Structure 1
Amino acid sequence: MDVVVVKYNAGNVYSVVNALRRLGVDPLLTDDPALIRKADKVVFPGQGEAGSAMAYLRAHGLDVVIKSLSQPVLGICIGQQLLCRHSEEGDTDCLGIFDVDVKRFCPMRHEDKVPAMGWNSLYDLRSPLFKGLPAEGAYVYFVHSYYVPVCGDTVAKADYIHPYSAAMGKDNFYATQFHPEKSGSVGEIILRNFLEM
């Protein structure tokens, strides 16, 4: 199985590569459109800033490539946000796979910290990504200042300040706001489920 991890102007991609290696897959880290198009599975991970990430994607033609993919695609963290229509971060137009806008967390109480960082539980799971997990209460690791509101493409929710999309799905596109590669055995199950799609 050929698995590609999209290389672009974002951090944290190597932890995803290493997590996939632990599952017995040796992914290719590349920004080559031809290699991305022919892969069996595409992972679109990262941490970073939406505006500079989208600028890199556009400069390398990857915005067009990603939107054209028909194989399973998994966006992680900013990868989920970039699959949305628009982000408040840098007033950035994104890829538009998910027809929803990314918002910045606005603290409501003194104890609300931004970025939201740490372990949080998932609920309302509705995707093959979560096969083998309990319907509620699986803990995963988040680091993010921006979030995707609950919408028609939401396939898992988490609560921080208010409910939001912890994961999304539409056609062959899947995405998680959390980091499965940093989420222990739960994250391993999610990545394995993706690889088995």
Structure 2
Amino acid sequence: MKAFLITSLLAAVASAIPMPAPAPAPMPAPPGIPSKSTAQSQLAALTVKAAYDDGNYKRDKFPHWNTVSGACNTREYVLKRDGVNVVTNSACSATSGTWYSPFDGATWTAASDVDIDHMVPLKNAWISGANNWTSTKRTQFANDISTPQLWAVTDDVNQAKGDKSPDKWKPPLTSFYCTYAKSWVTVKYSYGLSITSAEKSALTSMLNTC
């Protein structure tokens, strides 16, 4: 009888202790985001010099939204990769799904509210070395799904960013500064692009939030 009472008491105590909530599932994200230390090493290795705008940049010099597979182009591929429960039609267009924009923390259920952001904007790439690339390399850069170059984000936020570097624009969510800086650095490092001194200072500060 005593053992039964003790067992019952222990069970009652255990049931009264609140169980921790399960950890939220990680949100989808582009591949290749480096660690803080790797990003810092890559940042230190980048060439620092003034940006050079030769006035010849045109967006169509970076052919983008190329076919990835089947009927899916790069935009459609990223929408499906970075969304949750995304349903597509026979043309690979997203007809439903949920997208979380890490730049501003907004969640969208219509693909039309989502832009695919180039982490390092095409014009920024042009003025930091891509003006000397071949069309093939610029096409690769504009459609790169193997580095953290392409992000599904709120359309208005992407438009506010435009072609600005981190010293001139940062994502609204300060909690995303770390990931943003790591992604920006590794894309520039992967393609041998230069950075300005102001850009390096901003990236250094952002990496210090990691």
Query: TM-score, normalization: structure 1?
Result: 0.32
The structure that is strand-richer by fraction is 1
Quick one: higher RCO (CA 8 Å, sep 6+), 1 or 2?
A: 2
The structure that is helix-richer by fraction is 2
